[in-house]
Amino acid sequence: MGSNVKRFDPQFSLASNENRAAQKVVLVAGGAGFIGSNLCRRLLAQGDRVICVDNLETGRLSNIGALMPEPEFRFFLHDIVEPFSIKGHVDRIYNLACPASPPKYQKDPIHTFQTSVMGALNLLELASRKGARVLQSSTSEVYGDPDVSPQNEEYRGLVNTMGPRSCYDEGKRAAETLFHDMHVTRGVDVRVARIFNTYGPRMDPEDGRVISNFIVQALKGEPMTIYGTGEQTRSFCYVDDMLDGLMTLMECETCGAVPVNLGNPGEFTMNELSRLVQKMIPEHGGAVYCDLPKDDPRQRRPDITRANTLLNWEPKVSLRVGLVPTVSYFSKELELSQAHTNA
C-alpha cells in the first residue's frame, strides 16, 4: 500500500478553502469501486475537492492510483460501518459503498447488511452534523424479482427476506427507509437513486457480474457462462450516462427524498448479450449453460419517466456502443495482468 493511503484520521480536514462558494467538498464513500472511481474523476474535472472513503472490500487502488497525486483528492481507508467524522466543511456526500456483484455481496452477507444499514446511518449522521446533502445509491434490487415490467418507483417489489440475495436487497430497502426517516424527522437533505445494472471501464475483471464475466471469458477464448436458460432479462446502462444521472439528481433542488430510477430501458436477454459479445470478440470460446442461481430475477427494465421529468435525463449510450470502450478496457486489464504474471 503506497504512502498516499491513510487510515482514517478523524482530525483530517482539507486545507482552508477561501473559494468555497464555487468549489464544493464532496465525500465519495465507495470511491475506489467501479462507479465511485469514475465519479471521483468527474467531480475533480469539474473543480470539486474529493474525499474518497473506502475499505477496499471490492474496490481497487488501481482505480484511483492516478488521482492520488492530485492536490484536491484524498483517500482514506475506512469501513463505513464504523462511525467517523471529518473536521471542516462537507457539501455533498455520495454513498456508493457496498459490494454490488452477487458473488461478492453474498460472501459475507452480514457485513453487506451492516454496510447497507449501519453505513448509511453513519453517512446520514455525518450529513446531519455538516448540513451536507447526501445521495444514496439504491438499486433496482429493491424491486426483487418483479412481476410487473417496466418497473416504476411506485412498484413496491417482490423480495425474499430469507434468500441469498436478501442481505443486499433488504439492506438497500432498509437504507431507503433510513434516508426517508432522517429527512422527515431531522430534515437531512437527501436524494435516492435506484440504479439499474451499470457497466463500463473500471469494473473489476474478477467482479463476477455478467458483463465482466462474458467479456473476460470471451477475450480468454473460454466459454461464456450463461446461467439458466439465458432468457432472463436485464437493462444495461453505460457508466457515463449513470454519472450524468447521479450528478444531476444530486444537484436537483426539487427532488427531495423521492426515489428516482436511473437506468437504460433497453432490455436484453442474457442469450442476446452473449451473442453481442461474440460478435465483438472474434476469438470467443462460445457459451456454456450453467445452473441458475436461486432467486435470480427473471426480468428487469426501468421506467425512467420520473428521471426524465424531474432531471430531464435519459441515457444516450446504447449497449452496442457502450460495449466498445468496455471491451477495450478489459482487454488492456488482461494484458496488464498477463504482463504482471510473466514479470
Nearer to ligand UDP, 28 or 211 (CB): 211
Q: How far apart are CA 131 and CA 93, in angstroms?
A: 10
Nearer to ligand NAD, 284 or 300 (CB): 300
Number of H helices, E strands in the chain: 11, 14
User: How many residues line the site for ligand UDP (CB under 6 A)?
Assistant: 14
Partner in contact with 235, chosen from ligand NAD, ligand UDP, none, beta carbon below 5 to 8 Å by kind: none
| Least separation in angstroms between CB 37 and ligand NAD | 8
If DSSP states are collapsed to H, E and C, what string results for 115-168? HHHHHHHHHHHHHHHHCCEEEEEEEHHHHECCCCCCECCCCCCECCCCCCCHHH
Which of 105, 168, 199, 238 is an active site residue? 168
Q: Which amino acid is at 244?
A: D
Partner in contact with 299, chosen from ligand NAD, ligand UDP, none, beta carbon below 5 to 8 Å by kind: none
3-state secondary structure of 17: coil
Contacts of 245 (CB under 8 A, 6+ apart): 193, 262, 307, 311, 313, 315
* Residue 296 is a binding residue for ligand UDP (CB under 6 A): yes
* Residue 164 is a binding residue for ligand UDP (CB under 6 A): no
Q: How far apart are CA 265 and CA 319, in angstroms?
A: 11
Residue where the block lists cell 503506497: 2
* Residue 302 is a binding residue for ligand NAD (CB under 6 A): no
Partner in contact with 137, chosen from ligand UDP, ligand NAD, none, beta carbon below 5 to 8 Å by kind: ligand NAD
Q: By CB under 6 A, name the one of 98, 281, 317, 327 that touches ligand NAD.
A: 98
* Residue 44 is a binding residue for ligand NAD (CB under 6 A): no
* Residue 121 is a binding residue for ligand NAD (CB under 6 A): no
* Residue 137 is a binding residue for ligand NAD (CB under 6 A): yes
Contacts of 246 (CB under 8 A, 6+ apart): 35, 39, 94, 135, 137, 193, 195, 262
* Residue 36 is a binding residue for ligand NAD (CB under 6 A): yes
Instruction: Report the interface residues with ligand NAD, using CB under 6 A.
Output: 29-30, 32-36, 54-59, 79-81, 96-100, 115, 119, 137, 139, 195, 197-198
